[in-house]
Structure 1
Amino acid sequence: MSTPPLTTETHPRTGALATAILGTVILVLNLLESMLVPALPLIQAGVGASTASITWVFTGLLLSGAVSTPLIGRLAELHNKKTVFFVVWGVVVAGVLLSALATSIVPLAIGQVLQGAGLGFAPLAIGLVRETQSAEKAKTSTGLLIGMSALGSVAGLLLSGPLLTVLSYHWLYWLPLAALVLLGIVAVPVFPATPAGGEGRIDWVGAVLLSAGLFAVLIALTEAPAWGWSSAQFLLLAALGVVLLAAFTTAELKMEQPLVDLRAGGKAVIITCVVAFAVGWATYAVYVALPTIVAAPPSVGYGLGGTPTTAGLLLLPLGVLGAVSAALTGRLERIFGSKTLMILSCLPVVASSAILFLARHDAAVLALASGLAGLGIGIGLTQAMNIVSSSVPVERLASASGFLLVLRQVGGTLGAQVSGSVLAGGLIEGTPLPTWSSFGAIFWISTVVGLGAIATSLALPRRLAGAAVTS
Structure 2
Amino acid sequence: MTDAKTSDALPAAGAQADPGVTAPFAALLVAVLSFSLMQTMVVPVLPDLQREFGADTSGVSWVLSSFLITASVATALLGRVGDMFGKRRVLIACLSVFAVGTLFCAVSNSLGMLITARAVQGVGSAAFPLAFGIVRDQFPRERVPVAIGLISSTFGIGFGIGLILPGPIVDTLSWHWVFWLGLAVIVLGILAVGAFVKESPDRSPGRIDWAGGLLLSGAVVALLLPISQGRSWGWGSLAVIGLFVTAVVLGAVFVAVERRAPEPLIDIDLLRRPAVATSHVAALIIGFGMYGAFTLVPLLAQTPPEVGFGFGSSVTESGLFMLPMAVTMLVASPLSGRIGAAVGFKLPLVLACLIGVVGFVIYAVGHNSEWAMYVGSGVLGIGVGLAYAALANLVVEAVDPRQTGEATGINTIMRTIGSSLGAQIAASIVSSETVPGTAVPAESGYTATFVMSAIALGAAALAALAGPGSLRGSAAVGARPTAPEPSRSSAR
Q: TM-score, normalised by structure 1?
A: 0.93
Structure 1 position 433 matched with structure 2 position 432: no
CA RMSD of aligned residues (A): 2.2
- Contact kept, 8 Å, 2:85 with 2:205, in 1: the verdict is no
The answer to whether 1:356 aligns with 2:355 is: no
- Is the contact between residue 392 and residue 408 of structure 2 (CA under 8 Å) also seen in structure 1? yes
- CA distance in 1 between counterparts of 2:234 and 2:260 reads 37
- 1:125 matched to 2:131? The reply is yes
Contact 1:100–1:173 (Cα < 8 Å) also in 2: yes
Partner of 2:9: 10
Query: How is 1:40-79 mapped onto 2 (pairs within 5 angstroms)?
Result: 40-79=46-85
- Relative to structure 1, the CA distance from residue 25 to residue 78 in structure 2 (aligned partners, 3 Å threshold; closer, same or farther) is same
How far did residue 74 of structure 1 move?
A: 0.4
> What SS is found at the alignment partner of 2:200?
coil
| Maintained 8 Å contact 1:79/1:195 | no
Does the 8 Å CA contact 1:326/1:378 hold for their aligned counterparts? yes
Amino acid across the alignment from 1:312: G
Which of 269, 272, 277 is the matching residue for 2:279?
A: 272
Distance 1:214 1:32 in 2: 21
Output the CA distance in 2 between the equivalents of 1:376 and 1:285: 15
Question: Partner amino acid for 1:62?
Answer: L
How many residue pairs get aligned? The number is: 466
How far is 1:407 from its partner? 0.5
Deviation at 1:258, TM superposition (A): 2.2
Partner of 1:406 in structure 2?
A: 413
Change beyond 3 A, Cα 1:385–1:11: closer
Amino acid at match of 2:114: L
Is the counterpart of residue 347 in structure 1 residue 354 in structure 2?
Answer: yes
Deviating more after overlay: 77-86 vs 301-310: 301-310
Shifted more, 384-393 versus 348-357: the winner is: 348-357
d(CA) in 2 for partners of 1:436 and 1:189? 51
2:464 counterpart (450, 457, 467): 457
SS in structure 2 at match of 1:9:
helix
Deviates more, 1:106-115 or 1:395-404: 106-115
Distance in 2 separating the partners of 1:159 and 1:433: 25
Contact 1:15 1:128 in 2 (8 A): no
Question: Is the alpha carbon distance of 1:142 and 1:334 closer, same or farther for their aligned partners in structure 2, counting shifts above 3 Å?
Answer: closer
Q: Name the CA distance, whole Å, in 2 between partners of 1:384 and 1:252.
A: 25
Describe how 1:240-319 pairs up with structure 2 within 5 A. Answer: 240-264=246-270, 266-319=273-326
8 A contact 2:364–2:451 mirrored in 1: no
- Relative distance call for 1:168 and 1:310 in structure 2 (3 A) is closer
Deviations 1:149-202 (A, max 9, x none): 321221122221122222122111112212322332343332212346243222
Letter in 1 for 2:9: T
Paired position in structure 1 for 2:14:
none
Query: Greater CA deviation, 378-387 or 438-447?
Result: 438-447
8 Å Cα contact 2:145/2:341 also seen in 1? no
Question: 2: CA distance between counterparts of 1:382 and 1:136?
Answer: 15
Secondary structure in 2 matching 1:271: helix
Aligned position for 1:467:
481
Alpha-carbon distance between aligned partners in 2 of 1:198 and 1:157, rounded to the nearest angstrom? 39
After TM superposition, list the pairs within 5 Å mapping 1:48-447 onto structure 2.
48-195=54-201, 197-264=203-270, 266-447=273-454
Give unpaired runs (5+ residues) of structure 2: 12-18
Q: Using a 3 Å threshold, how does the CA distance of structure 1 residues 191 and 338 change in structure 2: closer, same or farther?
A: closer
Contact kept, 8 Å, 2:31 with 2:193, in 1: the verdict is no
Q: Which amino acid aligns with 1:192?
A: K
Deviations 1:356-398 (A, max 9, x none): 2212411122112212222222111110111111111110011
Shift of 1:15: 5.6
Q: Say which SS state the counterpart of residue 263 (structure 1) adopts.
A: helix
Return structure 1 stretches of 4+ with deviation > 6 angstroms. Answer: none
> The residue matched to 1:264 in structure 2 has which SS?
helix
Distance in 2 between residues matched to 1:289 and 1:255, nearest whole Å: 44
Deviates more, 1:315-324 or 1:96-105: 315-324
Aligned to 1:202, the other structure's residue is in SS state coil
TM-score (ref. length: structure 2) = 0.89
**Match of 2:16?**
none
Structure 1 gap segments, 5+ residues each:
1-5
Q: Sort the Cα spacing of 1:248 and 1:19 in 2 relative to 1 into closer, same or farther, 3 A.
A: farther
Match for residue 24 of structure 1 among 5, 27, 30: 30
8 Å Cα contact 1:35/1:157 also seen in 2: yes
- Aligned match of 1:3: none
| Aligned partners of 1:19 and 1:128 also within 8 Å | no
Question: What is the distance in 2 between the residues matched to 1:242 and 1:352?
Answer: 34
Q: C-alpha distance in 1, partners of 2:112/2:132?
A: 33
